[in-house]
Amino acid sequence: MIELPDVERMIDAFAGYATGKTVSEVLIDDPETTEIDPELCETRVKGHAIDTIGRHGRFVVVRFRSDVSLVFHMGSDGKIFLESQTTPPDEHSKIRLQFAAGRELRYSSPDAEGEIHLVDGEDFTGLGTLENLGLDPLSEELTTGRFIELARTKPRSTLKGILMNQEIVAGIGNEYADEICFQAGYRPDLKVKDVTDDQLLRVHKYLRRVLRRATLHWQAAHADPGWLINRRERGSACPRCTSALKSMKLGGRRTYLCPRCQRAA
Ligand SMILES: [Zn+2]
């Protein structure tokens, strides 16, 4: 599943090349999931330069100097990447933005969750999740105080539920939510009403630490023997105490935890 660090990694790979470049042609491979007004695309995207490339949670926002934004919802398995125009697109290709130099920016998504929108400025009204998206976990806005305050609005939620609630913090999915709970040393199924502010402070600290590390050093994090994310299999041993990890369903998602290392309160 695509989570914030994965989106950051994708953006890093193409933003340096694509920022400032003019899009010469737009090829739509899948008109059904590409909600783009053809006229707006013709007049404000084609022939216009990309101004900035940003991320809001798991959305990628490509903003043009003509003051429109292409918004890509990464779904659970979408990808956005640079490719040569001579390479045939894959079967899940949705849209391709071509540059004069022979390369193109491709967006491909095998599942129905992946969406593309073209909006005026950065007007996300009506775009469901994006419109009500919570704070970015790596932004300065998500201070410890703010995080605690937001968590307290959902006393009956579990810690994992808070981390995955896109209207509270944007971009954390199933695997990183488990990792944050593991690194902080708390069970993911702890209820917010049963934890102290000091414990929430610790969750916030590890939320930052885990996501920052995964964003800056993705490969190292995904090879770290001390990380739970690399042990998500039935029968795996805890990276810390080597006792058997427990797996359970929480909020409909497969959850891994160590009953010894992760405290119940
Ligand atoms: Zn353990």
188-227 pLDDT tens trace: 999 999 999 999 999 999 999 999 999 988 889 889 999 9
Ligand 1 centroid – CA 236 distance (Å)? 11
In three-state secondary structure terms, 44 is helix
pLDDT above 80 (res 126): no
Ligand 1 centroid – CA 147 distance (Å)? 27
44-88 pLDDT tens trace: 999 999 999 998 888 899 999 999 999 998 888 899 999 999 999
Q: Evaluate whether 254 touches 233 at the Cβ level (below 8 Å).
A: no
Q: Which two tokens stand for residue 201?
A: 């402070």
38-49 pLDDT tens trace: 889 999 999 999
**Pairing label, strands 115-120, 34-35:** parallel
Q: Evaluate whether 185 touches 151 at the Cβ level (below 8 Å).
A: no
Show the domains of the chain with their CATH numbers.
Answer: 4-128 (3.20.190.10), 144-257 (1.10.8.50)
Ligand 1 centroid – CA 264 distance (Å)? 13
Query: Which pLDDT score, from 0 to 100, does residue 1 have?
Result: 78
Over pLDDT 90: what percentage of the chain? 73
Range 2-22 average pLDDT: 94
Give the Cα separation of 201 and 124 in Å (integer): 31
* Protein residues near ligand 1, an ion, with CB under 5 A: 238, 240-241, 258, 260-261
Give the Cα separation of 1 and 256 in Å (integer): 15
Prediction pTM value: 0.85
Read off the pLDDT band of 121 (50, 70, 90): confident
Ligand 1 centroid – CA 122 distance (Å)? 45
Ligand 1 centroid – CA 112 distance (Å)? 37
